[in-house]
Structure 1
Amino acid sequence: MSVQNGFLALLTQGPAYGSQLQSEFLCRAAHRRQLNPGQVYSTLDRMSDQGLVASAGATDDGLPLYALTETGQAAASDWLTAGPADGRPDWDEMQDQVLIAASLDGIDARAIIDGYRAAYAERIRYLSHEADSRALLAANRAAELGAKAAIEWLDEVAATLAAQPGALVQHRSPERPRRGRRPSAEATATSE
């Protein structure tokens, strides 16, 4: 879900085309190595089917632009203001959400950071009471160390944002990604 939510968040900054969203997502969530173009367009198709995005015309050279619907705007706002969806936060989801939120102008990522910090602190408290066998002890210790690392990283991001508000904000790149989905012949024929 973080790719879909990341796209929704990026679209709060205005309409974009698929390869532009892919490039912006990877630039802002630099911990990700790649994002498959097939995943990009299947995600956009699914978002369109869910009523989260709608067509916003096309670029001068025919690349379809996507924009948020009211439902998509509400979903983006929810994701940009809340911490983890449940008590078992995911490391990659956390990084996506914190880094993308902090990279957007006008978004205060502190609520997200606080939500994840609280979830990881609760996870540590829970794990400290669950060690009743050697195998469980080893697994819980690994999870505990992961939660402590997450809290340490969140504290560093929070300190950066407190010392330099807007330090992580990135504006859309003026460079155009080389590829993008061209309209199908069928779509072109129906629009004429």
Structure 2
Amino acid sequence: MSVQNAFLALLSLGPAYGSQLQAEFLSRAAHRRQLNAGQVYSTLDRLTDQGLVEPAGTTDDGLPLYALTDAGRVQAVALLSRGPEDSRPDWDEMQDQVLVAASIEAADATQVVADYRRSFTEKIRELEHDADTRAVLAANRAAELGARAAIEWLDEVASALKDDPTVLLQERSTERPRRGRPPVSEAVVEN
């Protein structure tokens, strides 16, 4: 799950400001070490340009809030209810999407896990039939081992969710991150 998609998923919880989204994403996808402020706000600007996010007023102290548009809501629901549509899943995106989906009550994390498992299983089948040279064999073996590790992790997550569907749920944090885009009244406006 890209940062852009993670922000759409997190905005399904309601309007938020940039550093709040940053903190929520890093809290829910704990394997991520950092996400710089420049990336946060350029992502929000890009989402706004794409018509997926819109300004939603400001916080009490003037930080700009962002909310999903109707198109953004449709995309967020899709991200929270299904995994990849191809057999070339990415390990990092899988972790992000599964962990973020499992942390949001309205998501269908079990389906996201099942879809990723199916994609990694398809990837293994493709790799087993695609080894014609030693170099390809070595690369395919590495990819196969990665896919098997992903399936093992997905099975653990599926088991945890089956035992307790709320095990990874998180409420939106009430702790205010220290930084954020300057309040609207303090922002420098360029012409």
Instruction: State whether TM-score is above 0.5.
Output: yes
1:185 aligned partner, one-letter code = V
- Post-superposition offset of 1:64: 0.2
- Give secondary structure in 1 for the equivalent of 2:67: strand
Alpha-carbon offset, residue 78 of structure 1:
1.1
After superposition, where does 1:5-16 map in structure 2 within 5 Å?
Answer: 5-16=5-16
Separation in 2, partners of 1:180, 1:173: 15
Tell me what 2:188 maps to: 185
Match of 1:80 in 2: 80
Partner of 1:140: 140
The aligned residue for residue 175 of structure 2 is 175
Unpaired segments of 5 or more residues in structure 1? 188-192
Please list, as runs of the form range in 1=range in 2, the aligned pairs for 1:7-156 lying within 5 A after superposition: 7-156=7-156
| 1:99-143 deviation digits (Å, cap 9, x = unpaired) | 000001222201111111011001111111112211111111000
Other-structure match for 2:4:
4
Q: CA deviation at 1:66?
A: 0.4
Secondary structure, counterpart of 1:7 in structure 2: helix
Deviation at 1:185, TM superposition (A): 3.4
TM-score (norm 1): 0.94
Deviation per residue, 1:48-101 (Å, 9 max, x gap): 111111111101111000011101000101111121142200001100100000
Which runs of 5 or more residues in structure 2 are unaligned?
none
Q: Show the counterpart of 1:190.
A: none
CA RMSD in angstroms comes to 1.2
**Aligned to 1:185, what secondary structure does the other structure show?**
coil
Counterpart CA distance in 2 for 1:42 and 1:185 is 17
- Aligned amino acid, residue 161 of structure 1: L
The residue type paired with residue 25 of structure 2 is F
Give 1:139's aligned amino acid.
Answer: A
Query: Which range is displaced more, 128-137 or 139-148?
Result: 128-137
Instruction: Please state whether the residue corresponding to 1:78 is helix, strand or coil.
Output: helix
1:186 and 1:132 map into 2 onto residues whose CA distance is 60
Distance 1:51 1:70 in 2: 9
Cα distance, 1:174 vs structure 2? 1.3
